[in-house]
Chain A
Amino acid sequence: MTRFSAMVEVTLRPGIADPQGTTIERALPALGFETISGVRAGKAFRFEVEAADEVAARREVEDLCRRFLTNPVIEDSMVTLELAQ
């Protein structure tokens, strides 16, 4: 078994209104950030997972995302895995 560290980023799906992202973006010009657009707010989770290989680890984490970490009606997730230190 190999230990991986996982990072899951959860964001609202395209087309789902993101009032938090919109509000942050509206504040940017006042702060002088004229070149930044397309802000989407989300959340991130870090944890470790033990699996036979990276494919198995990804399958486990994606199952966790689908069943618990996201609400698939409104949210998408992106999984990043690397070997744990």
Chain B
Amino acid sequence: MTVRVGVVMFPGSNCEHDVAEAVGSLGAAADIVWHGDRSVGQVDAVVLPGGFAHGDYLRPGAIARFSPIMEAVEAFASAGGPVVGICNGFQVLTEAHLLPGALQKNRGLTFLCQTVELEVVTDRSVLTAGVTPGTRLRIPINHFEGNYTCDEATLSALCEEDRVVVRYTDNPNGSVGDIAGICNPGGNVVGLMPHPERACDDLVGSADGKLLLGALLRSAGALNYAAAAR
């Protein structure tokens, strides 16, 4: 059965079609879901894409977390459904308290748009299931507020509970612990600043993003969340 991915579009999102294209190239179907809807529909996974939801006013993600769709995303996540926030989507997930910590302005106060090297830290998240820890990936980042921060207790919990998903091998933005992405205790909610959907074809410099999105689709297919919910 074809895996269906719901990609949430907020006013100001700008990566929803890239995500839809990328998961489509991997054999999945994508539904663009409007932020004003109250249901994510019959999907097996949800992606909160990059962009500037609600103009990033106040703080990135601060207004998006109150969009009507977020209650459905929270319910989907708490039922074990795979939810991935990419870049602005990661910021939305922290503001919605689905992931701990916060993303502040990059060290050095510069907008960063470059390809970086990541190391997969754990395979217990839906985005890295089946990917050998230690695997290195080349994936672009494109953000001003990507400097992950949290208190000491949260950082130790993330490390002890094996919830750091990907790390930068050469920290570009000042993130604590070189963290590029984390997951919730269940491993089904993942947030990361790099954009795997922009690295899905050798023509654009790297196809390493396919490893992550492929893992997400396998996780989503195995959980078969939409079928279970029907």
Contacts and interface: CB of A to CB of B under 8 A. Distances in A.
Given A73-B102, A74-B104, A20 B59 contact: no
Interface in A51-85: 68-69, 71, 73-74
* Interface residues on chain A, size class: 10 to 19
Contacts of B109: 19-20, 23
A16 interface: yes
A68 B62 contact: yes
* Interface residues on chain B, size class: 10 to 19
Given A73-B150, A74-B149, A16 B104 contact: yes
A19 B108 contact: yes
A73 B107 contact: no
Main secondary structure of the interface of A (DSSP, over half): mixed
A19 B102 contact: no
Given A19-B105, A19-B107, A71 B149 contact: no
Main secondary structure of the interface of B (DSSP, over half): loop
Contacts of B59: 71
Nearest to A68: B62
A71 B107 contact: no
B178 to A, nearest CB: 15
B102 A71 contact: yes
Interface of A: 12, 16-17, 19-20, 23, 68-69, 71, 73-74
21 contacts: A17-B147, A17-B174, A19-B105, A19-B106, A19-B108, A19-B109, A20-B105, A23-B109, A68-B58, A68-B62, A69-B58, A71-B59, A71-B62, A71-B95, A73-B94, A73-B100, A73-B101, A73-B102, A73-B149, A74-B102, A74-B104
